[in-house]
A and B are shown apart, each in its own frame.
Chain A
Amino acid sequence: MGKDTKLILDPLADNNPITIQVLGICSALAITAELEASIVMSISVLFVLGVGNVVISLMRNIIPSKIRIIVQLIVVATLVIIVDLVLKAFAYELSKTLSVFVGLIITNCIIMGRFEAFALGNGPWRSFLDGIGNSLGYAVILIIVGFFRELLGSGTLLGIKILGDPVAKTGLYAFGYENNGFMLLSPMALIVVGIIIWVQRSRNKALIED
């Protein structure tokens, strides 16, 4: 596996930012009740982290190390505001669902973590790949969690009624099936993330820490 491909593929599984590094948990718990919100959140993070990593990497030699956190914050804040405004302009309903969590991308540990750990020490191309890889790793978990929570909690996927209509009692609901309200609550998101971590580590024993 080439060094560059590794940058993309590693964070997808064996060095996943959520399940292995346990970063960015808050947003993974808060906005994954619907699959659509998870996808939009993933794309937003992909944009912010991809572009942000490149910008920081380009500036890495001129940023004084004493104020690097402030510079990083300014970069990420600028990008997040762009995302926020775009969402408000073109997907207003969705931006209301995501509410404060778009703004909170600024404090998403994954982003500051990659700036600090990677972009400050590597060239723009490699930083770009690292940013894409990590946000894809974030996206994979968000989408898995969002998939199960929306399917079991609301019986829908991307707003389409998969399991039938709960009011008219069609599909599964005709047999007495009911949506699992627990899935819509944040604690269940934590449990789903926990189950993913459990499955992942039991398949790859090298990931288990003491």
Chain B
Amino acid sequence: MSLKSKLHNLKEKYKGKKMAPAFNALHTFLYLPNETTHGGTHVKAADDLKRTMNTVIMALVPCLIYGMFNAGYQHYLATGAIEAADGFLGASFWTLDNLILGAWQVLPLVIVSYGVGLAVEFLFAVIKGHEVEEGYLVTGMLVPLIVPVDIPLWMLAVAVIFGVVIGKEVFGGTGMNILNPALTIRAFLFFAYPTWMSGDKVWVHGAVERSQQIAAGQNVDAISGETLLGAYAQNSTLPGIDYWDMFWGLIPGSVGETSKFLIIIGALFLIFTKVGSWRIMLSTIIGALVMGLIFNGVVDAGWIPDTSKFYGLMSVPFWQHLIIGSILFGAVYMATDPVTASQTNKGKWIYGFLIGFISIMIRVFNPAYPEGVFLAILLMNVFAPTIDHYVVQANVKKRMKRLKVKTA
């Protein structure tokens, strides 16, 4: 008997029982579209929720694998065990040691994220008596990529429960949520446990542990795990990192967001498969560049003294804003979430532009939040329906005018 018919039998057996959605989940994931149409004439197309989700996950896999290598690489680099890699194909980067250490750190994050998140989804499916939805599959993949590598697993579990329940289930589940669940999880972590989410100790595996050993009086070297943004916000720079390192992603940061190169490849894949909106990606980047240009203009005009605490980030050349933080990751994988983004094409331009614009504004002006991308996207998630409303109304008005001209 094939897997499909086995699952189908299981489904028939538990039909009408309270636990039915839990038993049906695998069947639902693998074989069943969420809603099937009956009767009438329909256009046949293959793009359902499942295909969309799977495409995004495929686009994320390179970032995840790179993140594992990078976690190991940054650790060994900081402890002085290896030399800095020379470029993307550098010999000391793609080593088995890096992968083993990185996977040992990153895989538990993935497992906790999926395990806890899907458990919550199952629970709600059973309580509400609907099928388990696939919405969490992408969220569960995004979450480990946007947290520091050393985040304690129980914190991640608490945050995932909060994010899935408050960010999604209270609104009615997948497709009904106002906020991006993955970013809700990150925001929760950021405000609940700030010592694990920002600062110069959390971005490289082992840095916190090492600083505790030093505090306990052991004679070891400290590991610094500062991100570039953290350094710029302090009006300093990190030595030995050039633009190519930032582009290839050989820098400390959240697990999956460092490699701009792989994010761009993922973006092209999403645009090619028509899953991600190129309008949002492009307008986000434009928004970020415009804000960066404004800051550069202010610096060039000499309106701000170089002793100002904003000077460091304001004087960063505008195009560099794209490669030093996680704006590209946010633009490609977060802002384009079809549920929480604007739906209209014009709305997408406005929505994306404001995300980029506000991200850089927060990044520069708020020293407490060195990276503002996730806050900017959450903010614009809230405004997306408003933007759509006005875009639609403007269109209605335009057509009404046309109608009047014709009939007059």
Contacts and interface: CB of A to CB of B under 8 A. Distances in A.
Contacts of B49: none
Interface string B132-168: 0000000000000000000010110010000000100
B181 to A, nearest CB: 15
A195 B170 CA distance: 9
B158 to A, nearest CB: 8
B146 to A, nearest CB: 17
A46 B166 CA distance: 32
Contacts of B155: 178
A198 B170 contact: yes
A200 to B, nearest CB: 13
Interface stretch (A82-90, A97-105, A126-134, A179-187): A179-187
Contacts of A187: 191
A191 B166 contact: yes
B154 A176 contact: yes
B191 A185 contact: yes
A180 B170 contact: no
B193 A180 contact: yes
Contacts of B194: 181
24 contacts: A176-B152, A176-B154, A177-B154, A178-B155, A178-B193, A178-B195, A178-B196, A180-B158, A180-B192, A180-B193, A181-B191, A181-B192, A181-B193, A181-B194, A182-B188, A182-B191, A182-B192, A183-B192, A185-B191, A187-B191, A191-B166, A194-B170, A195-B166, A198-B170
Interface string B311-325: 000000000000000
Given A180-B192, A180-B193, A181-B191, 9 more contacts: A176-B152, A178-B193, A180-B158, A181-B193, A181-B194, A182-B188, A182-B191, A183-B192, A187-B191
Interface in B189-241: 191-196
B212 to A, nearest CB: 11
Contacts of B154: 176-177
A13 to B, nearest CB: 21
B345 to A, nearest CB: 33
Q: How many interface residues does chain A have, given as a range?
A: 10 to 19
B199 to A, nearest CB: 14
What 3 A-B pairs are tightest by C-beta distance, nearest first?
A182-B192, A182-B191, A180-B192
A181 B198 CA distance: 14
A187 B166 CA distance: 13
Interface in A159-199: 176-178, 180-183, 185, 187, 191, 194-195, 198
Interface residues of B, number: 13
Contacts of A180: 158, 192-193
A86 B155 CA distance: 43
Contacts of A185: 191
Contacts of B193: 178, 180-181
Interface in A60-106: none
Nearest to B194: A181
B41 to A, nearest CB: 35
A122 to B, nearest CB: 38
A185 B187 CA distance: 13
A178 B128 CA distance: 33
B342 to A, nearest CB: 24
Contacts of A191: 166
Nearest to B166: A191
A171 to B, nearest CB: 15
Nearest to B195: A178
Contacts of B195: 178
A194 B162 CA distance: 13
Contacts of A195: 166
A191 B192 CA distance: 14
Contacts of A182: 188, 191-192
Interface string B352-363: 000000000000
A195 B169 CA distance: 12
Nearest to B169: A198
A101 B159 CA distance: 31
Contacts of A181: 191-194
A84 to B, nearest CB: 32
A181 B191 CA distance: 6
Nearest to B189: A182
A187 B170 CA distance: 16
B177 to A, nearest CB: 15
A185 B193 CA distance: 12
Max count, chain A CB within 10 A of own CB: residue among B192, B193, B196: B192
Contacts of A177: 154
A180 B188 CA distance: 9
A157 B223 CA distance: 38
A119 B188 CA distance: 44
Interface string B327-358: 00000000000000000000000000000000
A131 B31 CA distance: 59
Contacts of B191: 181-182, 185, 187
Contacts of B158: 180
